[in-house]
Structure 1
Amino acid sequence: MAYVIAEPCVATCDTACVPVCPVDCIHGPLAADEISRIPEGERKTRLAGLQLYIDPESCICCGACENECPVGAIFDEDELPAEWQRYREINARFFDDRAKERAPEET
């Protein structure tokens, strides 16, 4: 079981959840410090289509991130609303893709 970041995070990418994670399992396509430097008024445009993700393999289900999220985007996977079920796979795929990018090419 893990927590999942869902649709309310898209184009918001609020990083309040990142520093409270005791296992550093919340990441995105941009580093948290890079996101925090984007002015609030420019985020919807500059972060369009982007979100943060929770690594389901690393998440220890402590729930610290859920309480910090100002947009209500983080859910225990068992409580993920039906309309956002696809975000379980979206979160996992982000980390699978990152692992593939970092893996040395096979010869």
Structure 2
Amino acid sequence: MTYVVTESCIQCKYTDCVDVCPVDAFREGANFLVIDPDECIDCTLCVAECPVEAIFAEDDVPAGQEHFTPLNAELAKLWKPIIERKDALPEADEWAKVESKFDKLQR
């Protein structure tokens, strides 16, 4: 089992999770992070660090967001690793309150 970044991360991209990942499994896009399922060791450290509660165990991804599991795997092959914490996106706090924002995902 691996961990999956879901919709709450879009347009926020808080990187608190990156700081605690012991295997550098996170990959960075313009407005979203993903977890590389081939690198993730299921340590759970990132879950508690996410301020928008966007990270779930693969088996616990919320209903309606299951498509984020293959999406994380797909984008992890295209995006570069992020290994250091960065500032969140400028309007992250406002976007954190928005529920439906999949259409904003920049691939």
Q: TM exceeds 0.5?
A: yes
Equivalence for 1:56: 37
Q: Which has the larger radius of gyration?
A: 1
Q: How does 1:60-75 map to 2 (within 5 A)?
A: 60-75=41-56
2:78 is aligned to 97
Distance 2:54 2:73 in 1: 16
DSSP 3-state at the match of 1:91: helix
User: Could you say which residue in structure 2 is the equivalent of 1:6?
Assistant: 6
Deviation at 1:98, TM superposition (A): 4.4
Please identify which structure carries the higher helix content.
1
How many residue pairs get aligned? The number is 80
% same residue: 43
Q: So what's the TM-score if we normalise by structure 2? A: 0.70
Match of 1:11, SS state, is coil
Rate the CA distance shift 1:10–1:98 in 2: closer, same or farther, 3 A.
Answer: closer
Task: Flag as ranges the 4+ runs of structure 1 deviating above 3 A.
Answer: none
| Contact 1:6/1:74 (8 A) holds in 2 | yes
Normalising to structure 1: TM-score of the pair? 0.70
Q: How much does 1:95 deviate?
A: 1.9
